Structure 1
Amino acid sequence: MIDFVKKLQEEIAKESDRVESSKDNDYIKLSLEMSHVLADAFDRLKEFIISYEFRSEEEEIDFFKDVKPRLFCKLIYYRKIYNIEMLRPVASVNRQKEYLNNELDTINKYTNKRLDFIRYFRSGATYLDKLYFLRGQTDTEQYLEAFYYELDPQFSTNCDFKVARILANDMLHAYLMSEIEKLEYEHRPCGIQPFPETRLTYVGPKNLLIEFIYGFDTEGYFGNVPLTQVASYIENVFNVRLDSNLSRAFSDMKIRNNPTQGLDGLKDALLRRMQSWKRKKKK
């Protein structure tokens, strides 16, 4: 199973890079094509799992608690982005902000209705995993979600869809906040677009810069300015174009095995350099 899932994830990542590089900032086209890519991958995963025999309950729990939701959440996310952008009003800034805030309210209502389960999942608890993430279990107290892909009991459990929805909502929340920040910044009377006099071109991994941007924004190192302004500044200073959808990049960071792999790699490189310098000093 591990090999199949890994290969599928690699194919999705490759297709994601292709789609994002070709669609620029057109969220409607991007989300529609990514929905097709992910739906196809999901169907292939479903076909594989139905014919696959899990080696243990632990492996089955891991699949339905972690593997499936982390793929499924992206499908939910892109389909929701498509619907949000298709219905987004071509209207004033205030009307658009009202619309986006209503979408945030929908996410908050979903969260508030499922606080007990969300606390269980986010805490890393495991004592109810057999009830929640093994097939064939019956739990009449669980709120039943209706979704096309959940119709087959061979490919669903009581709560794997809930986990996927929670992860998708995390991504959607970041996306909506980013869009609201863009509207606020782009329509400021005195908005400043900083362009440095001398540009050096950054050639390192983009995910490292994105980790830095979110770190700077979290600590407020540039003051009380929108995240998009910080990102714009970094892009101009380093003469590089980052992922146009920072919210999606941040959501991807959160579900990686190592969320800060770029920063960790930079730290390791710096420590190696220091150790090399110390060795040279001793000679």
Structure 2
Amino acid sequence: MGFLNVLTDKEADPVKRLSQALQEIKTVLQQLREKVLSRPFPSKETEISFFKNIKPKFYAWRIFHLELYNLDMNKPAGTRDMLLAFYKHELGLVERFFKLNAFLYHYFKAGFSEMDGMYFIRGAEIPTVLQPEIPDADQQFSTGMDYLYARFMAFEMLQKEILDRMNGLDGTLHPVEPKKPKPVPTLKWTGSHVNLVELVYGLYYTMQLNNGHADVTEIVNLMEDTFGIKLRDAHHSFVEIRRRKVDSPSRFLEQMAAAIQQRVEDDLDYKPQLKKALKAQKEGD
């Protein structure tokens, strides 16, 4: 893609630059698509590598040139200070994009691979809470994450371009690496195995996930990935929960509700006027 680097530096007309870049990228992506569809990948690892490392690099240039065109068409024809203010605003938008996608951007920057089987295999099911927002895509030539990886690459190029322009105007700024988002803390389930199974079935029977369409296995997998625990034989554990004789089958959930209620009561003890008003409202009802 050296042609696109030269095009960025040499072509001053934003319209011509965008037109030539999009045509070049379209040709390359069509060739890649034909090769991918002409024969299956020899292994899942090869498919993951293609959609994680190869396709996004080409698609990133398409996104970058579209963003570069918007940058040039919207920049003010004014003073140095006006241009600096404009570029600072655009730089803030880039930074905001990274923050809005902090978890996935950290996955990208850190080179993680734990969820590659979901993110870079075509047709793989991704839990809703982990699924990035992507446009309607060609299902034969797209995965759940390759588009967002391309956007990360493109926005890092855009960030460098903006910083270079600001440095040319101000003389004091220098291109820097994008700030890495704060690492997401790892939470490990240290409570009872049965309590977590009870929580799984509580979420399932109250239809809290995917508008009630998430099945028990999906919720179990989510809990295992989130809390670093293996819920082996969750169905058997639930059978044991149903057989409880002395305690309620939903003992753990009731303990949670009681703990929250106690905290509310404790808080209200420090706010007697609010407690009195709530009591009067309850009696009035």
The bucket for the TM-score relative to the shorter chain is 0.5 to 0.7
Describe how 1:12-27 pairs up with structure 2 within 5 A: 12-13=1-2, 15-16=3-4, 19=7, 23=11, 25-26=12-13
**Separation of aligned partners in 1, 2:50 and 2:101:** 22
Paired letter, 2:133: L
Q: Which residue of 2 aligns with 1:54?
A: 41
Cα deviation, 1:86-112, whole Å, max 9, x if unaligned, reads 121111222222221221111111111
Describe how 1:71-150 pairs up with structure 2 within 5 A: 71-139=58-126, 140-141=128-129, 142-146=131-135
Q: Residue 143 of structure 1: CA displacement?
A: 2.5
Distance 1:125 1:183, change over 3 A: same
**Separation of aligned partners in 1, 2:173 and 2:86:** 20
Distance 1:27 1:124, change over 3 A: same
Paired letter, 1:167: M
Q: Residue 178 of structure 1: CA displacement?
A: 0.8
**Separation of aligned partners in 2, 1:172 and 1:36:** 20
**Separation of aligned partners in 2, 1:22 and 1:176:** 17
Distance 1:48 1:145, change over 3 A: same
Is the aligned partner of 1:172 residue 2:161? no
Computing the radius of gyration over CA atoms, which structure comes out larger, 1 or 2? 2
Paired letter, 1:168: A
Q: Which residue of 2 aligns with 1:33?
A: 20
Q: Residue 163 of structure 2 contacts residue 173 of structure 2 at CA under 8 Å; is this kept in 1?
A: no
Is the aligned partner of 1:160 residue 2:179? no
TM-score (norm 2): 0.56
Residue segments in structure 1 that go unaligned for 5+ positions in a row: 1-11, 186-224, 228-246, 252-283
**Separation of aligned partners in 2, 1:42 and 1:137:** 22
**Separation of aligned partners in 2, 1:21 and 1:171:** 13
Paired letter, 1:164: A
Q: Residue 48 of structure 1: CA displacement?
A: 2.4
Q: Residue 28 of structure 1 contacts residue 81 of structure 1 at CA under 8 Å; is this kept in 2?
A: no
Q: Residue 31 of structure 1: CA displacement?
A: 4.0
Paired letter, 2:151: R
**Separation of aligned partners in 1, 2:38 and 2:83:** 47
Aligned-residue Cα RMSD (Å) equals: 2.4
Question: Equivalent pairs: percent with the same residue?
Answer: 25
Distance 1:104 1:59, change over 3 A: same
Bigger relative contact order, structure 1 or 2, given CA contacts below 8 A and separation 6+?
1
Residue segments in structure 2 that go unaligned for 5+ positions in a row: 178-285
Distance 1:143 1:90, change over 3 A: same
TM-score (norm 1): 0.56
Q: Residue 14 of structure 2 contacts residue 73 of structure 2 at CA under 8 Å; is this kept in 1?
A: no
